[in-house]
Amino acid sequence: LFGELLHKHGFVPDFEDSFTDGASASVKQANFSKVKSALAGAGSALGVRLKDAQISEIIQEDRGAALRVLYQLRQGLQKAGICA
């Protein structure tokens, strides 16, 4: 979901080639590594920093972990005027 959102707004141009569909922890970790890299480049514009602890919480499906990051991403996109 994070990769798709970043792709939709132009922060991950090669989404189909970069991200892997899968449920294993290693696939999730690899995908979040790419999301983290994309946010590092866009993060200053969006004000979103994805920390390793947050990635672990999302992968472990901790309640609300993904929602908190999605909210930050939404706020950053709105602030940048990219999303209404």
Stretch 49-55: mean pLDDT: 89
Q: Is 58 in contact with 65 (CB distance < 8 Å)?
A: yes
pTM reported for the whole predicted model = 0.78
Placement of tokens 């569909």 in the chain? 21
pLDDT band at 43 (very low <50, low <70, confident <90, very high): low
Q: How far apart are CA 23 and CA 75, in angstroms?
A: 28
pLDDT band at 44 (very low <50, low <70, confident <90, very high): low
Angle at 66 between CA 64 and CA 72, to 5 degrees: 100
pLDDT band at 53 (very low <50, low <70, confident <90, very high): very high
